[in-house]
Amino acid sequence: MPDHMVAGSVTAPGTVPRPTSRIRSAPDPREWRPLPAVVNGHAARAGERPALSFVSYSQDSGGTWQTLTFTQVDLRARALATVLESRFPRGGRVAVLCPQGLDYGVAFLACLYAGMIAVPLFPPEDPRRTDQLAAVLADADPVCLLTVSPNTPACRDLAGGRVPVWVVDEADPRPASDWSGYQAEAAEPAYLQYTSGSTGRPNGAVITHGNLVASTRQVMEGCGLSDSTPIASWLPQFHDMGLSIGVLAPMLAGTHVALMSPLAFIQRPVRWLRLLDAHRAHFSGGPNFAYDLCVRKVPDPSGLDLSSVRVLTNGAEPVRVGTLRRFTEAFAVAGLAPDAVKPSYGLAEATVLVACNRVGQRWTELDLDSHALTTGEVRVVADGDAAAPTTTVVGCGRPVGQHVRVADPETGVEQAAGFIGELWLRGPNVAAGYWREEQRSTQLFNRTLKTTRGSDSGWLRTGDLGFLHDGEVFVLGRTKDVIIIHGANHVAGDIEDTIRQAIPEAVPGAVAAFAVPGDDAEGDRLIVMVELSSGPQSATDIDLRRRVQIAIAERHGVRPHDVKAARRGSLPRTTSGKLRRKECRERYLTDEQSSAARTDSRDDQ
């Protein structure tokens, strides 16, 4: 085996561990086994195969690879699990606060090996997010924090001396032989996935071992994964999509995943594309902004070979058809297949995946009558019919291993075909509920769907607005983001997309549309906030307000009450990069109240 395949070894920049032969005598995928038992089995059958790699750019711009084999992953996970078993009661929560890398996957797996409930989080490196992290820890009430040596002081400060901190990268491998061999039941909690909170405060979805295995098998089926399909990812491992791509899917499938940090991607997006090439990756993914960033920052794709890539998931809500087209066209010269980019739909409460376009299937586009959409009707406009304004939407593929229905969010009655409603779903991947949130869990989980055949229980309310067409799932946005003006419904995402097309000076993915109360006769008022690449002072120079008003009026038939310019990066975002419209709205109202107070003060003088 080449030296660069050895655990912890450092290779020359650009040297890449290549996938080796397939695992023989793979177990029957229908047999129930928790993930630790599967990983332990990979180590026993083909332990010298590479499992986890991390590419660091801190010392060399070309990247330095570190790799663990399945044997080494299993050994380290068993050793750390033994320590956890000896010190803490089974079922205790263990927070993982490691940075992106090999230690994160090992720490997460060790929790599962030990029968603990993992809490995947981010390390306390950004002071602006300390309060958010502290709030989650207060809710999860962990018995232990897992981190790496450099982050130990910050984690101890965060814990305030009340919770022990264990250092993953200094763990002694010798206790591995003392691991109990614990195997969890399907209904036992495996981890708490705290949602990023684009519309409200974070909640910890309780993901059971059964949810984990079922969802990961769905990912494998939907994305065509096996032990010979390499994976690459820059997505944060604490995020549901990043955890699935960067840890769960490769560990269950028995394939090799190559990781890099989100910061390395943001600094130079071409690194992700080069990683796809070098690793001969079959599968990767990212939110909408990542694809736009690659198009802007990688104008010359010459030298890249993306012909191995068969699945690049785009899991933004909603997926932008313009983004799909631009990325596919820009990198076709690098061998990217025209059907490689896959719009998909998922959420933390469903562990991760709900629907996706399968390998070899290109996404579906529909031109819908914009006026009909405001009344909740899905009316496809025929080619060449330009009589009414249209809205183009993109399908997220068919459900994978679960059922999806469209319901009236107020009554729970299943909508007839051709109408928009809230997406409800049911399947073995749906979480058990929210941690310590019985009331909210009751509101969203195990709901009863009223159909023409009677009542049907066991459904999850997703809070997402959408419809089904020819079996495909189409997502329009969050139900809470519907803006009602003069009795007509307008989806915030559609208005934002219109502005993005009309205002190229806007920062990609940095437009927020929301409603604030107007007077009784007026109803809601539409507010738009736009981050400008050249800063808010340029709004007058580019005639931002007038251009936004014209674009929205022409396409949606409404006029925004106010248009605000913001500096780049100033609007609040979730951990996955999506704008928090609720917080944008709260910020706007606060600023308006402050402005009014200052005006009143001047008037009194």
Query: pLDDT tens digits, residue range 409-440?
Result: 999 999 999 999 999 999 999 999 999 999 99
In a domain, 314, yes or no: no
In a domain, 408, yes or no: no
Is the pLDDT score of 29 beyond 70?
no
Round to whole Å and give the CA distance between 164 and 398.
45
Round to whole Å and give the CA distance between 565 and 510.
11
Residue scoring higher pLDDT (15 or 474) = 474
Q: What is the pLDDT of residue 317?
A: 65
Span of 18-27, 56-65, 219-228, 311-320 with lowest mean pLDDT: 18-27
Rg of the chain (C-alpha set): 24
Residue scoring higher pLDDT (538 or 276) = 276
Q: What is the pLDDT of residue 6?
A: 34
Q: How many domains does the chain have?
A: 2
177-218 pLDDT, tens digit per residue, is 999 999 999 999 999 999 854 444 678 999 999 999 999 999
Instruction: Give pTM, 2 decimals.
Output: 0.84
In a domain, 461, yes or no: no
Q: What is the pLDDT of residue 557?
A: 82
Q: What is the pLDDT of residue 19?
A: 37
Q: What is the pLDDT of residue 9?
A: 38
Average pLDDT in the 441-465 region? 94
Residues of the chain with pLDDT > 90, as a percent, come to: 69
Q: What is the pLDDT of residue 24?
A: 30
In the block, residue with structure tokens 């549309």: 513
In a domain, 493, yes or no: yes
Average pLDDT in the 302-314 region? 97
Is the pLDDT score of 128 beyond 50?
yes
Q: What is the pLDDT of residue 600?
A: 52
Phi, psi of 67 (to 5 degrees): -135, 140
Round to whole Å and give the CA distance between 210 and 603.
64
Question: Using 50, 70 and 90 to split pLDDT, how confident is the model at 505?
Answer: very high
Taking alpha carbons only, the member of 350, 399, 38, 107 closest to residue 208 is: 350
Q: What is the pLDDT of residue 27?
A: 41
Phi, psi of 84 (to 5 degrees): -65, -40
Round to whole Å and give the CA distance between 256 and 228.
8
User: Greatest CA span in the chain, whole angstroms?
Assistant: 85
Beta bridge partners of 370: none
Span of 412-421, 498-507, 594-603 with lowest mean pLDDT: 594-603
Round to whole Å and give the CA distance between 56 and 451.
53
Is the pLDDT score of 11 beyond 50?
no
Taking alpha carbons only, the member of 318, 303, 288, 257 closest to residue 50 is: 257
Q: What is the pLDDT of residue 519?
A: 63
Average pLDDT in the 63-79 region? 97
Taking alpha carbons only, the member of 238, 190, 205 closest to residue 91 is: 190
DSSP string of 503-522?
-TTEEEEEEEEEEEE--TTT
What is the CA angle 138-157-104, rounded to 5?
A: 75
| Contact call for residues 336 and 305 (beta carbons, < 8 A) | no
DSSP string of 259-292?
E--HHHHHH-THHHHHHHHHHT-SEEEE-HHHHH
In a domain, 54, yes or no: yes
In a domain, 453, yes or no: no
Round to whole Å and give the CA distance between 242 and 295.
22
Average pLDDT in the 575-584 region? 78
We report the CATH number of the domain holding residue 555 as: 3.30.300.30
* Cβ partners under 8 Å of residue 294, min gap 6: 269, 270, 272, 273, 327, 330, 331
Residue 150 vs residues 125, 134, 167: alpha-carbon distances, Å = 10, 19, 9
We report the CATH number of the domain holding residue 223 as: 3.40.50.12780
Residue 213 vs residues 78, 167, 428: alpha-carbon distances, Å = 19, 28, 9
> Across all residues in the chain, what is the average pLDDT?
89
Round to whole Å and give the CA distance between 31 and 462.
29
Round to whole Å and give the CA distance between 345 and 313.
9
| Contact call for residues 289 and 262 (beta carbons, < 8 A) | no
Q: What is the pLDDT of residue 576?
A: 64
* Cβ partners under 8 Å of residue 129, min gap 6: 122
Round to whole Å and give the CA distance between 145 and 163.
7
31-63 pLDDT, tens digit per residue, is 789 999 999 999 999 999 999 999 999 889 889
In a domain, 351, yes or no: yes
Is the pLDDT score of 10 beyond 50?
no
If DSSP codes are grouped into helix, strand and coil, which group holds residue 101? coil
Residue scoring higher pLDDT (228 or 515) = 228
Round to whole Å and give the CA distance between 392 and 387.
15
Taking alpha carbons only, the member of 475, 465, 317, 344 closest to residue 398 is: 344
493: containing domain: 486-604
| Contact call for residues 387 and 423 (beta carbons, < 8 A) | no
Is the pLDDT score of 453 beyond 70?
yes
Is the pLDDT score of 578 beyond 80?
no
In a domain, 455, yes or no: no
Among residues 307, 328, 355, the one where a domain terminates is 355
Q: Which letter does DSSP use for residue 536 in this model?
A: G
How many beta carbons lie within 10 A of that of residue 189, not counting itself?
21
Beta bridge partners of 512: 529
Instruction: Looking at the structure, tell me whether residues 345 and 491 fall in a common domain.
Output: no
